[in-house]
Amino acid sequence: MKQYTASVDAGNGGVNAVIAGRGKQGYKSHYEPSVRAAATGDSLGLGPEWELDYQWVDWNGHRYVTGDSVTKITKRGLERHMGSNRYGNEFHQFLVAKALAELGIKDGKVDLTVFAPPGLYVHARETMLDRFMTDPPVTIFLKGDKAARHWTYNNLTVWPEGIGAAACFVIDKNGKMQNSDVLSGEVVLLDAGAHTLDALQMSDGNFNPENLQHATWENGGVDTHIRQPILRTVHKAHEDFTNVTVDDIDRVIRLGSVSGDYTLRAAGQEINLESLLNKYSERYAEWTANNILDGVFGGLKGIKSLVLFGGGAYRITDHIHKWYGDKLLDTKKHATTKGIPLEDMNAVGGLRLALLKQQGS
């Protein structure tokens, strides 16, 4: 029976998943926004020239369209789940299973690593262990499959978000410990996600539980501080934008970060979101600095390094570097983190921790 090792950071905004043994970095990755909608999958048989072609998935007797396909196919019944009750529930399990299927798993057993915000970790961990390990084996069917996919989780590890990113600095892609002093002294790890902003303070590589009450800020992520303010402005810009969703905003931001084109188009109308993105990104950076870096961590006095990661990190890194200088660690300059996208650091670190454990280290 096939055995896989995978790590999935199924966040409020997006799913970052990796599987061991493939690619230049030692893993294959998959990303998809954390959203789904009911779908029929019906077709008139007209072919790709005349019909939209999209991926759908069958899960628990229902058919869904997911991720970016949602913004193209339907605006009805959009489903996302943000908040503390999502960890281990049906939707969370669905996001994980869909990502693993996209990574090529069809059957066998999976050594799986997943994550929860540190401030919610104790309760979320117990819930995830109970649900993932006691629910029936995974059964999922992707469009184009000849038969349903079935697998079981023979091992589940739950880490606080941030531990994975820290592991990237001291464990290489093969799961080998490295002689590194990056995490020596006092280090703050800041994970900017969609719904939460998480902060871990580590002392010589160990989490300091005295800061647990300041570990997770719900509604402290890019959804509250960037995406929703942009969406409110867009809705007021023209009546043809009233059906635009936060998923449309998210897609424009992600594509624009690569292409430089931040134009949102709907019903023949266009609006460039770049100035709004810059405006609210700076405001988010100010909020982060005021409330967390200064308010909790004393302006980073006595802190050796700050590690900033997660999808929201791209929006605030330049501002944080301008204000705090070399306190901000550049992940691109370290051998074990070079080439890892900031949004993948939790998932990649979780994979490396699993490989380390498998080697009996």
How is residue 239 written in tokens? Answer: 């009546």
From the number of C-beta atoms within 10 Å of its C-beta (0-12, 13-18, 19+), residue 322 rates as exposed
Say yes or no to pLDDT of 168 above 90: yes
Q: Enumerate residues 6+ apart whose C-beta is below 8 A from 42.
A: none
Per-range mean pLDDT, top range of 40-49, 233-242, 331-340, 352-361: 233-242
Q: So what's the pLDDT on residue 271?
A: 96
Q: Are residues 35 and 154 in the same domain?
A: yes
Q: Are residues 170 and 196 in the same domain?
A: no
Please report the sign of the dihedral spanned by the C-alpha atoms of residue 63, residue 64, residue 65, residue 67: negative
Q: Are residues 92 and 210 in the same domain?
A: no
Band of residue 212 on the pLDDT scale cut at 50, 70, 90: low
Q: Are residues 154 and 287 in the same domain?
A: no
CA atoms within a 13 Å half-sphere pointing along the CA-CB vector of 185: 12
Total number of domains in the chain: 2
- 236/301 Cα distance (integer angstroms): 43
- 189/289 Cα distance (integer angstroms): 14
Question: Where in the sequence is the domain holding 203, given as residue range(s)?
Answer: 183-328
- 343/136 Cα distance (integer angstroms): 30
Q: So what's the pLDDT on residue 343?
A: 95
Taking only the tens place, the pLDDT of each residue in 6-28 is 999 999 899 999 999 867 778 99
Q: Are residues 162 and 54 in the same domain?
A: yes
Say yes or no to pLDDT of 48 above 90: no
Q: Are residues 68 and 140 in the same domain?
A: yes
Taking only the tens place, the pLDDT of each residue in 220-270 is 999 999 999 999 999 999 999 998 999 999 999 999 999 999 999 988 899
State mean pLDDT over 74-100. Answer: 89
How is residue 286 written in tokens? Answer: 């100010």
Q: So what's the pLDDT on residue 111?
A: 97
304, 307, 309, 306: which is closest to 348 by C-alpha? 309
Strand, helix or coil for residue 84: helix
Using only the alpha carbons of the chain, give its radius of gyration. 21
Q: Are residues 11 and 158 in the same domain?
A: yes
Taking only the tens place, the pLDDT of each residue in 129-157 is 999 988 788 999 999 999 999 999 999 99
Q: Enumerate residues 6+ apart whose C-beta is below 8 A from 248.
A: 71, 264, 266
Assign residue 313 the CATH number of its domain: 3.30.420.40
Say yes or no to pLDDT of 43 above 60: no
* Widest Cα–Cα separation across the chain: 65
More confident residue, 78 or 30: 30
Q: Are residues 43 and 143 in the same domain?
A: yes
